[in-house]
Chain A
Amino acid sequence: MPIVTIDDREIEVPDGTTILNAARMIGPDVSPPAMCYYSKLKVSGGKCRTCLVEVSAGSTKDPRPMPKLVASCSTPIMDGMIVKNTTSERVLDARNGVVEYLLMNHPLDCPICDQAGECHLQDLSYEHGLEKTRFEFERRTFEPVDIGEHIKLHMNRCILCYRCVNTADQITDKRVHGVLGRGDHAEISTYIENVVDNDFSGNVIDVCPVGALTDKTFRFKSRVWFTRPMDAHRNCDKCSGRAAVWLFGDEVLRVTGRKDQWGEVEDTPEGNSGFICNTCRYDKKSLADWTVEGPRYIDRHSVISQNHYELEPAEQPKSLK
């Protein structure tokens, strides 16, 4: 099996593995951030450019460096390849740029955003010390809209990662939302009044890396760190029934898929898809519907566990770790 070196750490991986996945096998400290790639989807990635890395040697056979930074999520490794992620100044500079571009038109509404605390863009901007951009012009704005009974779209927050479109293409039968317009006018939309509805359509919420697609049945606005995620399951004839239920006291505020350390909905232990159905997500809002297994371990070094937020000291939640 080919051997690849990432930030001075070597690993042997199966043929055809991408740089990003090889890095993930080594561990989070060498893994580039990925805002658009989603390993559980057949097609995704390449778009956000946060995962750019430097290839300082292409392979043992052809050890020349690659002239441009490459998207690690879409570049397969070669035997003897040497990759630099955080050890490359070029990468850090380019990534800084990408984060700035992504934040440029992004609203500064984290304090009122449902996703705050589990938003990958928020994590990324903290990691890169960019709490605001040098962009001083009026931001692009859209009105929030309902796309279907259960899903709210805040297009202002969307980073056009295409994950929700790929998800609808790949795990539902009829896609009714998509990307309309082009360039910086591009937007996620159904165009006409249309209902995103399908047994699995709710998963677009789980794949969204930011707070652009949110669950309207999330019972009341609660900062995510006031809620306790629990692993829970139920017997379901549509999906695996394995979910995370987010509790406030004994109340089920919302139900999501179980996300792994990369923020992706994890497969079941049997290797089946962990995407949950809409019944589990929207309709099972009583603790009696679920068998609770125990607290969900949140591994991401996100604000959920880091208290990046300016809160009154009294409000500071206990670490959820």
Chain B
Amino acid sequence: MHSTKPSHSKAAVVFTPEMMAQVEHFTKQYPAGKQKSAIIPLLHIVQKKYGWVSVEAQDKVAELLQLQPIEVYEVATFYTMFHLHPVGQYVLEVCRTGPCMIVGAEDICKYLENKLGIKEGEITADGLFTWRTVECLGACGYAPMMQVGDNFHEYLTPEKMDKLIGDWRNK
């Protein structure tokens, strides 16, 4: 079954004044009536705040931009950066594409699976981590690599992974 299943958020989705300022930053940069262009930026804004993008978050984006909700659903489900289901606090996205694969990306995935004790896409019991594979992130020369939030972590080794994960656990 492939169905794109929606996930709902328990809490209400609220755009804080800071978020609204960012919304305005974007809506101002398009010609009048073209605010639809702000869908992707707004989905990033809401994901940054809540960690993922629920149906309610998408509805809120539609409301802010005066669009039909389906217009936002169509976009949110097309782009792979948006998490449409809850995820751990840290989402470790390991590049799996050729150049990374030939220098050890698969070993990094296996290592993560063991270290965190979860399969791809799952959340650790403490709610801290999710890991998944993604396609080329433009760091092929500094491989293997992963993206976590806004940052790239490159030249990954088991030792480096241990350190990163340890630091996140202690935060």
Contacts and interface: CB of A to CB of B under 8 A. Distances in A.
Asked if A and B touch directly (CB within 8 angstroms), the answer is yes
Interface of A: 140-143, 155, 174-182, 185, 187, 189-192, 194
B2 A185 contact: yes
How extensive is the interface on chain B, given as a class?
Answer: 10 to 19
A182 B4 CA distance: 10
B70 A190 contact: yes
B53 interface: no
B6 interface: yes
A142 B70 contact: no
21 contacts: A141-B1, A141-B2, A142-B1, A142-B2, A155-B3, A175-B68, A176-B68, A176-B70, A178-B70, A178-B71, A178-B74, A180-B4, A180-B73, A182-B77, A182-B78, A191-B69, A191-B77, A192-B6, A192-B55, A192-B73, A194-B70
Interface of B: 1-4, 6, 55, 68-71, 73-74, 77-78
B34 to A, nearest CB: 17
Contacts of A143: 1, 3
A175 B67 CA distance: 11
A182 B55 CA distance: 18
Contacts of A155: 3
Nearest to B70: A178
Contact of A174 (B2, B3, B68, B73): B68
A189 B74 CA distance: 9
A182 B86 CA distance: 20
A175 B73 CA distance: 12
A191 B6 contact: yes
A178 B74 CA distance: 7
Given A181-B77, A181-B78, A182-B77, A191 B70 contact: yes
B90 to A, nearest CB: 26
Contacts of B78: 180-182
Nearest to B8: A192
A191 B2 contact: no
A175 B72 CA distance: 12
Contact of B2 (A176, A179, A187, A190): A187
A176 B73 CA distance: 10
B3 A187 contact: yes
Contacts of B70: 175-178, 190-191, 194
Contacts of B4: 180-181, 185, 187, 189, 191
Given A175-B70, A191-B55, A180 B77 contact: yes
A82 B68 CA distance: 44
A178 B62 CA distance: 15
Contacts of A191: 4, 6, 55, 69-70, 73, 77
Contacts of B68: 174-176
Contacts of A182: 77-78
A191 B57 CA distance: 14
A97 to B, nearest CB: 24
Contacts of A174: 68
A176 B70 CA distance: 6
A114 B2 CA distance: 23
